[in-house]
Structure 1
Amino acid sequence: MRSVANQTRQTQINVGANTTIIGLRGATLRGLTLMVDRVSNVIIRNPNLVDARDCFPAWSPTDGDAGNWNSQFDLVSVRRSENVWIDHNTFSDGDNPDRDLPIYFGRPYMVHDGALDVTHTASLVTASYNRFLGRDKVMLIGSSNTVGPDVGRLNVTLHHNLFDGTLQRLPRVRFGQVDIYNNLYRLAGDGFGYALGVGVQSAIYAENNFFALGAGVTAADLLYDWGGTVITERGTWVRPERGLARPVSLLDAYNAEHDPDLGGDAGWTPTLRAGPVLPTPLVPVVVPALAGAGRLPV
């Protein structure tokens, strides 16, 4: 515990209220966590955020059937905060990807947690035009299944982000109303888990997203039931590894192969969007051109 506390003191940057962070062209924050906790009115734009590695991962023998290694440092963590905008950033593990790490106790030695996690009653968070590259765990919205303070919070918008070679939590959602539109998913085949995690009392509204699938990945693999019951999903296009892109209902594909079925009405319609929703076939053209660090005129 003392070692973890020492690492936290040396690598965690606590972002204050009413703060804007703008990275100049080529700016990189390596091995650091931007912690947005108990504040409001924060903007983070344009840096490369790289390899927030945990030097002291913990072995959890009861996590899963065979145990797992768990880490606690995110590249950006938003907790107990609101009115936060995460825009035009690039998130990656740099030259320290999880796939190159060793196996201990029969499980991968995980030194990374999330890229961008929104937890502990945070709300009114927007992530737009970001690139998430080659990560395993990407985005957790809500950190516990316990019904409590998170109810009515964790309201998040994700639009025009590129998830490239990422494996899971794109995002995984609990409790919140989460608007997911015009995002591009270029999904790896090897090691891919799922894209949208439908968790406890989650209300995902997914519209006009485009999925390019890696080897062995099907439309039925893109949703995962983490204890949720519903998702509104419309306008999705899928391009298999070999084949042409076409409209696909992820909900129908999931329900055809899994029980129990997920319902198709999350019970709300987004009203706070930055602009019109693009037709889905334009997403793989527009998003790669605009998303990520280095695209802003700074």
Structure 2
Amino acid sequence: MGDEPYGNVDRCLRALAGAAEGFGQKSVGGLNGEVYHVTSLADQGPGTLREACKKKDPLWIVFEVSGVIQLESYCRVSSYKTIDGRGQRVKLKGKGLQLKDCEHVIICNLEFEGGRGHDVDGIQLKPNTRHIWVDRCTLQDFDDGLIDITRRSTNITISRCHFLRHDKTMLIGADPNHVEDRCIQVTVHHCWFDGTRQRHPRVRFGKVHLYNNYTRDWGIYAVCASVEAQILSQCNIYEAGAKRTAFEYYTEKAADRHNPATGSIRSEGDTFLKGAIGEPRNQQAVFKPESFYPHWTLEPAGDALIKKICNIAGWQNCVLPPDTPVQ
């Protein structure tokens, strides 16, 4: 395993396709589609993001403009789309992106801020959403979650994202009644949870691989394992603020079980700073990621990793690569 994630994905436009580490590794986004140029920051109409996202054909969506897109309702993304914010600075406000009954979506290098309304998330994945990769996004200040993954959504990678100014950051698994969420598989790596209060993430039922993330100054807990969750926390940095509990366990009863249960966390190579306490539980019950994917970028949890994550997590001022053949 090397120590530099995604060193080659910016060499050409479509090199992102199929390049995700972890459970989202098969996501090809709009690899086989035309390039769609967003030329308007309007909420809807010709040349807008919404217009592109609702088209049925595969598309690689790029932006010719920078600025704020004020969404009056969720922007629903259909299958086989790449929303590629490289080369511009595009911020989505008001509402977020909704991935519903779709597959093969890549979301890269966008900002999400100021989502308002009941059940309004930055990126909402439900139901039956699979083969998704969210990379290099900055998300903050929504009325519900920043990223919610529920209702049989699976094979998802969240990487190099920056989360800040928020309470309920990332929910994986809807509630104890949705036992079909046992299928959920999510990888979260090289993300910066920057003073957000809780859910980094909170998990029910699913298998979640957390590695090389930096979580600091949480308000309640860092990571929560609830009913039947299996979490591998590998070479992450947990830096406490006022609250010291890094790993929390909530007991709930699955709808098809007689007895309530919590979840399991295995900790490998994690670093706990400023009095942070992470107590693993039932470690032998946690899945092994090598049973699902052959390799992933990993380095020790130390000062060098903190510096790297702070530099690479979130929206980046990078150029849009040329649309040349993927080598």
TM range (shorter): 0.7 to 0.9
Partners of 2:243 and 2:277 in 1: how far apart?
Answer: 15
Is this contact kept in 1: 2:104–2:131, CA < 8 A? yes
Residue 272 of structure 2 corresponds to 238
Which of the numbers 67, 79, 101 marks the counterpart of 1:38? 101
The 5 Å alignment of 1:103-118 reads 112-118=143-149
Partners of 1:26 and 1:273 in 2: how far apart?
Answer: 34
Structure 2: stretches of 5+ with no match in the other structure: 1-70, 252-261, 321-327
Partners of 1:147 and 1:117 in 2: how far apart?
Answer: 14
- The C-alpha deviation readout for 1:42-82, integer Å capped at 9, x for no partner, is 0001111111111xxxxxxxxxxxxxxxx311010011110
Local SS of the residue matching 2:75: strand
TM-score normalised by L of structure 1? 0.74
Structure 1: stretches of 5+ with no match in the other structure: 1-8, 55-70, 94-110, 242-247, 253-261
| Letter aligned with residue 11 of structure 1 | S
Find out whether 1:27 has 2:58 as its counterpart. no
Which of the numbers 152, 158, 172 marks the counterpart of 2:202? 172
Residue 243 of structure 2 corresponds to 217
Residue 297 of structure 1 corresponds to 319
Partners of 1:157 and 1:205 in 2: how far apart?
Answer: 10
Find out whether 1:193 has 2:220 as its counterpart. yes
Residue 5 of structure 1 corresponds to none
Is this contact kept in 1: 2:72–2:94, CA < 8 A? no
| Letter aligned with residue 33 of structure 1 | G
Partners of 1:288 and 1:274 in 2: how far apart?
Answer: 23
Local SS of the residue matching 1:217: coil
Is this contact kept in 1: 2:121–2:147, CA < 8 A? yes
Question: CA shift at 1:289, angstroms?
Answer: 1.0
Partners of 1:148 and 1:297 in 2: how far apart?
Answer: 43
Residue 284 of structure 2 corresponds to 265
Local SS of the residue matching 2:83: strand
Find out whether 1:285 has 2:307 as its counterpart. yes
Which of the numbers 148, 158, 162 marks the counterpart of 2:188? 158
Partners of 2:96 and 2:103 in 1: how far apart?
Answer: 18
| Letter aligned with residue 84 of structure 1 | I
Find out whether 1:17 has 2:67 as its counterpart. no
Question: CA shift at 1:10, angstroms?
Answer: 3.2
Local SS of the residue matching 1:10: coil
Partners of 1:295 and 1:239 in 2: how far apart?
Answer: 30
Q: In 2 relative to 1, CA 183–287 (structure 1 residues): closer, same or farther, beyond 3 Å?
A: same
| Letter aligned with residue 186 of structure 1 | R
The range that moved more, 175-184 or 141-150, is 141-150
Is this contact kept in 1: 2:105–2:131, CA < 8 A? yes
Question: CA shift at 1:229, angstroms?
Answer: 3.7
| Letter aligned with residue 140 of structure 2 | S
Q: In 2 relative to 1, CA 274–249 (structure 1 residues): closer, same or farther, beyond 3 Å?
A: farther
The range that moved more, 225-234 or 203-212, is 225-234
Partners of 2:232 and 2:266 in 1: how far apart?
Answer: 5
TM-score normalised by L of structure 2? 0.68
Is this contact kept in 2: 1:209–1:283, CA < 8 A? no
Find out whether 1:129 has 2:160 as its counterpart. yes
- The C-alpha deviation readout for 1:85-116, integer Å capped at 9, x for no partner, is 000000012xxxxxxxxxxxxxxxxx710000
| Letter aligned with residue 112 of structure 1 | D
- The C-alpha deviation readout for 1:109-149, integer Å capped at 9, x for no partner, is xx710000100000000000000012111000011112532
Residue 52 of structure 2 corresponds to none
Question: CA shift at 1:274, angstroms?
Answer: 5.9
Find out whether 1:251 has 2:279 as its counterpart. yes
Residue 150 of structure 2 corresponds to 119
Q: In 2 relative to 1, CA 295–129 (structure 1 residues): closer, same or farther, beyond 3 Å?
A: farther
Question: CA shift at 1:187, angstroms?
Answer: 1.4
Residue 256 of structure 1 corresponds to none
Partners of 2:315 and 2:88 in 1: how far apart?
Answer: 8
Residue 208 of structure 1 corresponds to 235
Question: CA shift at 1:295, angstroms?
Answer: 4.6
Is this contact kept in 2: 1:88–1:295, CA < 8 A? no
Local SS of the residue matching 1:287: helix
Partners of 2:173 and 2:286 in 1: how far apart?
Answer: 19
| Letter aligned with residue 278 of structure 2 | L
Matched residue count: 235
Partners of 2:89 and 2:263 in 1: how far apart?
Answer: 43
Residue 73 of structure 1 corresponds to 120
